[in-house]
Amino acid sequence: MSDRSYLSNSYKNILVSETENPGALSTVLITINRPDAMNALNIELMGEVAAVLTAADKDDKAGCSVITGSDKAFAAGADIKEMADADSVQIYIREMFASWDVIRLVKKPVIAAVSGYALGGGCELAMLCDMIVASESAKFGQPEVNLGVIPGAGGTQRLTRAVGKARAMEIILTGRMVTSAEMYEAGLVAKVSADDKYLEDALAIAKSICGKPSIAVRLAKESILKAFDTTVEAGIEFERKNFYFLFSTEDKKEGMQAFVEKRKPGWKHR
């Protein structure tokens, strides 16, 4: 039996809820909740997000997570007050990116539902997720250069891989804000929705994922991410091993048998 206490725990910087999907696994919804700070990300907040996603990864009833903020701000950046007086040694000792590394290793899919500002660390958190659903009014950007620093939570790497060198250079070196339409055209955003539907659409995608066999979903995510840190040849070899492995699962047998019998599969998630 999975420990589901993380759904009812009290958190200081986030709200956590569960959306049940009849006949499928549930969706865990994490809402960033620092309205007085435009949802600025601090170490404590990111630790809470990492803890919830880690617990959801171990929850047999959860299939996907969605991270969102408010309509005005997904997250307007990192909490500058937390960094303003720190020197190099202090910022290193704080290990401010430890929780980010934990989130990067989450096995189940994570969707960012973005509206309003997703700047600096907010943009980086959205990119850390597996896909982004954005409202028409969402604004993305990496304006760290305006503070005399650069992105430190993966912005220079993930943005470049998503939109290419030239566009990443222009966005990061100027620090300008970018519309969701431009980010969709560039390949960073998976879907642009009306301002009153972005969260609904993100939850709909999560529901679809939750209705799939969870082991296949996890290995598909793992294989896609492998494309970013290896050669095509090594990536294909990695993918193929995952493909072979899935032939040992009950869900492979059920899925193919259901296809042959022209019926809906009943996934066992094992």
Q: Helix, strand, or coil here: 18?
A: strand
67 membership: H or E segment, kind and range: strand 62-68
What DSSP character marks residue 13?
A: S
- The first and second tokens of residue 58, run together, are 């171990």
Provide DSSP, 61-91. Answer: TEEEEEEE--SSEEE-SB-HHHHTT--HHHH
Closest CA to 69 of 47, 97, 42, 41: 41
Taking CA atoms, 31 is separated from 13, 17, 49, 111, 112, in Å, by: 9, 8, 9, 12, 10
The residues assigned a catalytic role are 78, 121, 124, 144
Are 162 and 79 contacting, i.e. CB atoms less than 8 angstroms apart?
A: no
* Token code pair at residue 139: 């604004």
Strand partners, 113: 68, 133
- Residue 228, CA distances (Å) to 162, 209, 224 in order: 10, 22, 8
Closest-CA residue to 60 (of 172, 238, 214): 214
Task: Kindly state the DSSP code that residue 230 receives in the 8-state scheme.
Answer: S
